[in-house]
Structure 1
Amino acid sequence: MANVRYVAEYFLSLSEERTPLAITPLKLQKLLYYAQAFSLRDRDGALFSEAIEAWKHGPVVPKIYRLYKNYGYFTIPHQDFINEDPFTGETKLNDDEIETINEVWEQFGHLDGKFLEELTHQEDPWLFADINDEIEIEDILEYFTN
């Protein structure tokens, strides 16, 4: 299972500042949500273990929110991603995890955070969760497999 921080860093490595492919904190949260959903649907398992909560502006991984909240509504700078941990030499993301993230990027990477927020607000997992409560993984799986 991937470390959610590595998933976020990989998404940021795909971003292009000052283009529709730029990533704000809002957009990053929605990309993480869809990556989790696609992994549940296509890989029969979660991409990462951290909870996703139903916040006012849509699904949020609080750990990642805290890391990037200082950017507010502004673009998070592009980051290079090296898939090998410099200390352990271990691979950060396996091929299946990268494939899932790339699929989400191909489908949603060109959309802005507000559009993605509106999209998630029309989907059952966020709609039926209480605000600030965890969105149950089973609800995400059920919605995206039907």
Structure 2
Amino acid sequence: MKSLDVANYLIDQYGGSVEMTNLKLNKLVYLAQAVSLRQYGTPLFDDVIQAWDYGPVEPLVYRTFQSYGSGVISRPSGKFQSSDQLSQIAAVVMEKFGSLTAFDLVRLTHRDGAAWKMVHVPKANNVITSEHILSSDDGKTENVQTGTLAEGIRQVNQSWPNAMRMLEDS
């Protein structure tokens, strides 16, 4: 399977409910690879992942959707392969990471303990290997939302009705 198959699957299955930009898509494809390595012990795709300045990038995915700029990707780039493993991994990735903003995902993939941080040299586009991913915290799905913009927005939205009632009562 190719990274572009994973990207197209994510767009096809989740693009209608999630704003899928090229930046966010590359992080989600990367995290799908990390989750696959952790859950199945094998890579989901065989393309190279590079450590670019904004985090892990699959160059084929980036180039394919480059014409969208920072806009929302509206549709897959063509036909793509799928599998039960991809479907299961995509569901986990979207449940745990799909609601995060692109910059939440950049922050997540840049944190201490991340594979990107181990290999990144500005403008060098070093390769992030499966070994780097497995020796990192990437793809671990516990406590992902803590401290993210998406979580802050969710908390505000949850508390908003109570705040409005308190204002009305005073």
TM-score relative to the length of structure 1 = 0.83
In the alignment, what sits opposite 2:136?
143
In the alignment, what sits opposite 1:109?
98
Aligned letter for 1:126? W
Q: 1:135 to 1:40 in 2, by over 3 A?
A: same
Say whether the 8 Å CA contact 1:29–1:59 is kept in structure 2. yes
Provide the rounded CA distance (Å) in 2 between the counterparts of 1:27 and 1:120: 11
Number of residue equivalences: 134
**Alpha-carbon deviation of 1:82?**
7.2
**Alpha-carbon deviation of 1:32?**
0.7
TM superposition outliers: structure 1 runs of 4+ over 6 Å: 80-83
In the alignment, what sits opposite 1:7?
6
Say whether the 8 Å CA contact 1:10–1:81 is kept in structure 2. no
Task: Summarize deviations over 1:10-40 as a string: whole Å, max 9, x none.
Answer: 1101112xx6x11000000000110000000
Q: Percent identity?
A: 34
Structure 2: gaps (5+ residues): 141-170
Provide the rounded CA distance (Å) in 2 between the counterparts of 1:63 and 1:82: 15
**Alpha-carbon deviation of 1:97?**
1.8
The alignment yields a C-alpha RMSD, in angstroms, of: 2.1
Structure (1/2) with the larger helix percentage: 2
In the alignment, what sits opposite 2:44?
47
**Alpha-carbon deviation of 1:3?**
2.2
SS of residue in 1 equivalent to 2:56: strand
Structure with higher RCO (Cα < 8 A, 6+ apart): 1
Aligned letter for 1:116? L
Say whether the 8 Å CA contact 2:53–2:120 is kept in structure 1. no
**Alpha-carbon deviation of 1:106?**
1.0
**Alpha-carbon deviation of 1:125?**
0.3
Provide the rounded CA distance (Å) in 2 between the counterparts of 1:133 and 1:80: 26
Aligned letter for 2:9? Y
1:26 maps to which of 23, 36, 49: 23
Tell me whether 136-145 or 47-56 shows the greater mean CA deviation.
136-145
